Amino acid sequence: MSTKDWRTLLNEAADEFCTFLTERGMKCVVEGGGEYFVQIRTIYPTKIYSNSKGDRRIVVEGRPGPAEKARLISLWEEFNGHSFKGVNIFVDGSCRGQVSSYAAVIIENGLVIGMISGCFRDGAGMRNVAGEIVAVEKAVEFCLKKSITAVKIHYDYEGLYGWAEEYWQAKTPRTIEYRKRMREISESLSIKWVKVKAHSGNSYNEMADKLAKKALQECKMV
């Protein structure tokens, strides 16, 4: 895709998204932009970013409340043809040295119902993968406590699905423990696994990524 092509498409997307928001009762104007983004003003100043591949994401600026930000992100995903019916979990992990962090964003019908994050010392040397494993475990435990019976887990690291569904060999104590726990959970919780491309603009995947990085930054163990 040429520079002109992706930039033209980004400008058109900003105009179309503003129209989409206006049709849903939200004021929206396009204010300009920079090399890789277009600035719009709606309930909060928002930037729509794109790369030369055409992958787009939004960044809500200012200090929006969780409900307002969640609504705007939900509308952006709807605008892009993504429907998140039922309960969906997005997970990510990060690491620095021997410390890993985890994050999970749980949404139900497009609305955020849970955000989980934290950090721990990674004795297994699995780095950010250790964090992603914990993110899955914490998120499904959250769902069980809420009496949720079916979820979709969106993941970018194949091992999360592979170990849980037993088509990857679990060779280490940690992966064996993870597989055992997921077997137990599957008796009470129906899980569908959904592969996503990392850093491709999915709003909730980006949200989990930022949450994991923030947890690592604020971790007292680092």
Structural domain range at position 8: 3-65
Please compute the mean of the pLDDT values over residues 79-89 and round it to a whole number. Answer: 90
| CATH code for the domain in which residue 212 is found | 3.30.420.10
Judge whether 91 and 209 are in contact, CB under 8 Å: no
pLDDT, position 119 = 96
What's the farthest any 2 CA atoms get from each other in the chain?
Answer: 54
Structure tokens of 86?
């039922």
Q: What is the mean pLDDT of residues 58-80?
A: 82
What is the reported pTM?
Answer: 0.82
137 touches 181 (CB < 8 A): yes
* pLDDT, the chain, mean: 90
What is the pLDDT, as a whole number, of residue 221? 75
Q: What is the pLDDT of residues 113-131, one digit of tens each?
A: 999 999 999 988 888 999 9
Indicate if 46 and 109 belong to the same structural domain.
no
pLDDT of residue 96: 92
What is the pLDDT, as a whole number, of residue 33? 87
| Residue 198 predicted with pLDDT over 80 | no
Q: In the chain, what is the straight-line distance between the N-terminal and C-terminal CA atoms, in Å? A: 42
Name the domain boundary from 65, 95, 114.
65
